[in-house]
């Protein structure tokens, strides 16, 4: 089949379509998706995917699977009937077949576990020749593509601890956002850069940490917890990208700070923030922090109301 782009005058879009189709052909062949016996099982690729939906969603309704995958209802019914005859599933009660919840039997769970393990092993073998850096890059690329093409699962995020290169990104993103929204400019960027550099220079494993929230290889937020003294930790530089607000990232990051501080033996956590950062203040209050003092400064070029907060960590 030849690649053509005569129907679309946009050369960039045509090139992307060609590349995506080429990758689809490569990947389906490499993973054996065209084999009538998926991963050496008795199932086709479509049957294996429906089996997966039942396993991860049980109890699940047939209409839910049909809506999720866009499978013809009659075809889906035949596949579910096939699973039932093999003793892999059992049906609950419902008004009609599509309303009867489906769950795996013990035999079905064993069959799915075997198929899932083979799929994992084959995928791992595909990645076996890559370096750790290449694997990380591949994951970020896959997540990026899924995110851009509207994958619902891509809306999720994950949190990791810091690594080399993160401090520069944290400094740049926060400085840009604070300049765009509040006009705090170079003084704020200098402050953030000093905090980030000091964190790297004086990092105390087990006593300090920085967490990065990301999705599809893109940083969505971060927070630091550093040692003030033996009893007191300081929470610093909490931020969340505007595109990611509403996902609970800020609360997640602050909760990790509190949990880490307790485990490290701190008795208190303190922080410094500003009255205009209303979302952050709500997160701190929800975790039990309280305002201890308020003052006005002009360190960023104009008067701003700053606040000092504290959280006591009981034994």
Q: What is the mean pLDDT of residues 196-207?
A: 95
**Neighbouring residues of 206: CB distance < 8 A, sequence distance ≥ 6:** 264
Give the pLDDT score at 2. Answer: 45
Residue 151's pLDDT band (cuts 50, 70, 90): low
Q: Is the pLDDT of residue 152 over 80?
A: no
Q: What phi, psi does 207 have (nearest 5°)?
A: -115, -20
What Å distances lie between residue 46 and 36, 124, 177, 217, 243, CA to CA?
Answer: 10, 22, 46, 30, 35
Q: What phi, psi does 137 have (nearest 5°)?
A: -65, -40
Give the pLDDT score at 7. Answer: 53
Six-digit token string for 106? 């013990």
Please give the domain boundaries of the chain with CATH numbers for all domains: 11-152 (1.10.10.10), 160-312 (3.40.630.30)
**CA dihedral in degrees (111, 117, 122, 124; nearest 10)?**
170
Q: What is the mean pLDDT of residues 190-217?
A: 94
**Neighbouring residues of 236: CB distance < 8 A, sequence distance ≥ 6:** 195, 223, 224, 225, 226, 271
DSSP 153: G
Q: With contact defined as beta carbons under 8 Å apart, do 174 and 192 qualify?
A: yes
Whether the model clears a pTM of 0.95, i.e. scores above it, the answer is no
Q: How many CB atoms lie within 10 A of CB 183?
A: 11
Give the pLDDT score at 1. Answer: 46
Q: What percentage of residues in the chain have a pLDDT greater than 70?
A: 92
Q: How many CB atoms lie within 10 A of CB 53?
A: 18
Beta bridge partners of 227: 233
Q: Who has greater pLDDT, 312 or 24?
A: 312
């Amino acid at each position: 089949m030849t690649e053509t782009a005569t129907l679309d005058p946009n050369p960039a879009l045509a090139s992307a379509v060609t590349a995506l189709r080429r990758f689809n052909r490569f990947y389906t062949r490499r993973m054996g998706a065209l084999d009538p016996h998926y991963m050496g099982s008795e199932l086709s690729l479509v049957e294996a995917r429906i089996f997966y939906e039942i396993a991860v969603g049980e109890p699940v309704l047939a209409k839910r699977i049909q809506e999720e995958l866009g499978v013809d209802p009659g075809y889906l019914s035949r596949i579910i009937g096939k699973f039932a005859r093999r003793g892999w599933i059992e049906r609950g009660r419902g008004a009609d077949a599509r309303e009867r919840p489906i769950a795996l039997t013990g035999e079905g769970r064993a069959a799915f576990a075997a198929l899932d393990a083979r799929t994992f092993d084959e995928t791992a073998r595909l990645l076996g020749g890559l370096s750790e850096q290449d694997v990380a890059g591949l994951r970020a690329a896959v997540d990026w593509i899924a995110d851009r093409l509207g994958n619902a699962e891509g809306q999720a995020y994950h949190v990791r601890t810091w690594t080399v290169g993160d401090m520069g990104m944290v400094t740049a993103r926060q400085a840009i956002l604070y300049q765009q929204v509040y006009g705090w400019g170079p003084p704020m960027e200098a402050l953030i850069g000093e905090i980030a550099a000091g964190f790297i220079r004086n990092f105390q494993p087990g006593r300090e940490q920085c967490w990065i929230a990301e999705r599809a290889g893109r940083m969505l937020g971060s927070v630091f917890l550093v040692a003030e003294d033996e009893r007191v930790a300081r929470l610093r530089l909490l931020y969340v990208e505007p595109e990611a607000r509403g996902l609970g990232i800020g609360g997640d990051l602050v909760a990790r700070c509190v949990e880490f501080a307790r485990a490290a033996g701190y008795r208190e956590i303190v922080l410094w923030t500003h009255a205009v950062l209303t979302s952050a203040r709500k997160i701190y209050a929800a975790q039990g922090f309280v305002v201890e003092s308020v003052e006005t400064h002009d360190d960023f070029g104009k008067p701003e109301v700053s606040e000092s907060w504290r959280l006591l960590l009981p034994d």
